[in-house]
Structure formats: C-alpha cells, structure tokens
Amino acid sequence: MAYVSIPTYSRSIPQRYALIGAKCKSCHAVNLPRTLSCLTCGRADFAPVKLSGRGKIYCYTMISRGGSPPEFSLQQNLAGDYYVAVVELEEGPKIVAQIVDCKPEELKIGQSVEATFRRIYEDEGVIRYGTKFRLTQT
C-alpha cells in the first residue's frame, strides 16, 4: 500500500481539500502538488493561489477488480469499477484523480470536469478526504 503518513497528509490538506496551489513569484507558473522548487523555472519563491477546480480530462482509465491499489480495493469491491484520470487544470497543473458520477460512454479526452470534495480512502481509522472530479454540470 502506498502509505502516506498522517503528518505528510496533513501538510498537504490545503492542496488536497481546497486546491490551494503554489504560484511561482518569478515565472508565475502554478505548481500543484506543491514542490520545493518551481517545475518550470526552478526558483523556490511561491505565493498560495486558490485554483478554480475547472479542468479537462487529459487521459483516463477504468479500474476493475484486482486493478486497484489496496487502499482503494474496498471501494472497487463495494461500489464497483471506478475511473481515474489525469486532469489538466485550467491554471496549468496536471493531477491524478478519480472521476465520479459518470458512465463510461460519457468519458472523453478533452471533456470538461469540475472538482468535488470526496472521501478518498481510510487508513489508521482516519478518513482521508480530498478532491475528485465530475463532468461539468453547468
């Protein structure tokens, strides 16, 4: 299991819960997840920025029985196959997240999506919340 300790998870709560990214003060690129130095220019001076949660599907896949990492096997077992995508956010960063509340035929590369706050998994008795995406509603 890809164990993420509580201190590590807690440090990333603003970015996981509320999509707070790090905007490089030199080149203005937005980094999410936060990195020690800017992925675009390498400098290390950031300002926090709240991202819109809007983006597009860059690529996607379906996870079926046996395909999920252990922390998601309960979800696969009880709620069925689920979809994981690389989402390209409108501010630039690409992140990996589940796509919820959709049918397989609705998934397309380039499809507009929006962020939704969900339970990701549970570990050590603690609920790990975070961001997933759904097809844009409006």
Length of the chain: 138
Alpha carbons 35 and 12: distance in angstroms, whole number: 11
CA–CA distance from 67 to each of 50, 64, 80, 122, 135 (Å)?
A: 33, 5, 12, 18, 23
Determine if 138 is a binding residue for another protein (CB under 8 A): yes
Out of 9, 14, 88, 107, which residue is the one contacting another protein (CB under 8 A)?
Answer: 14
Determine if 96 is a binding residue for another protein (CB under 8 A): no
| CB-nearer residue toward another protein: 38 or 99 | 99
Determine if 137 is a binding residue for another protein (CB under 8 A): yes
DSSP code of 17?
A: H
Determine if 8 is a binding residue for another protein (CB under 8 A): no
Instruction: List CB contacts of 80: < 8 A, sequence separation 6 or more.
Output: none
Determine if 20 is a binding residue for another protein (CB under 8 A): yes
Region 38-77 residues binding another protein, contact defined as CB under 8 A:
50, 74-75, 77
Paired sense of beta strands 94-100 and 126-135, if any:
parallel
Determine if 11 is a binding residue for another protein (CB under 8 A): no
Beta bridge partners of 22: 31, 48
Binding site residues, another protein, CB under 8 A:
13-14, 17-18, 20, 50, 74-75, 77-80, 98, 100-101, 116-120, 122, 127, 129, 132, 137-138
